[in-house]
Amino acid sequence: NAVTVVPMHAEMTTQQAADILNVSRPYLVKLLENGELGFTKVGTHRRIRYEDLMAYKKNRREQSDRTMDELVKQAQEDNLGY
C-alpha cells in the first residue's frame, strides 16, 4: 500500500508506463506507434509524459464506462435480467 508521488511533467520509460496501464510493454509500444499516446525520443529510447499517460488512462476508463453502460441498457431492453 505504498504511495508514490510523481511530478506531472515527469517522463516514464515504456516499461514504467506499461506497468501503470497494466498492459504489456509491446502493447504499449503499439499504442505509441499508432499515435494513441504521445511520446518523445531520447536517443533511441521512448519516453512518455506522466501527464499524457494519466490523460490516456482517464479517457480509456471513461470509454470503458460508457461501453458498459450501453451494454447494461441493451441487456435491460432485451430483458436479460441484468
Instruction: State which H helix or E strand residue 10 sits in.
Output: none
Residue 2 lies in a domain: no
Residue 27 lies in a domain: yes
Residues 6 or more apart whose CB falls under 8 angstroms from that of 8 comprise 50, 51, 54
What is the span of the domain harbouring residue 54? Answer: 11-77
Is the pLDDT at 76 greater than 90? The verdict is no
> The C-alpha cell of 65 is what?
464506462
Residue 4 lies in a domain: no
Q: What is the pLDDT of residues 16-75, one digit of tens each?
A: 999 999 999 999 999 999 999 999 999 999 999 999 999 999 999 999 999 999 998 888
Q: Into how many domains does the chain fold?
A: 1
Is the pLDDT at 6 greater than 80? The verdict is no
Quote the pTM value: 0.74
Residue in the block written with cell 499504442: 31
- Domain CATH number, residue 63: 1.10.1660
Residue 6 lies in a domain: no
pLDDT value of position 8: 67
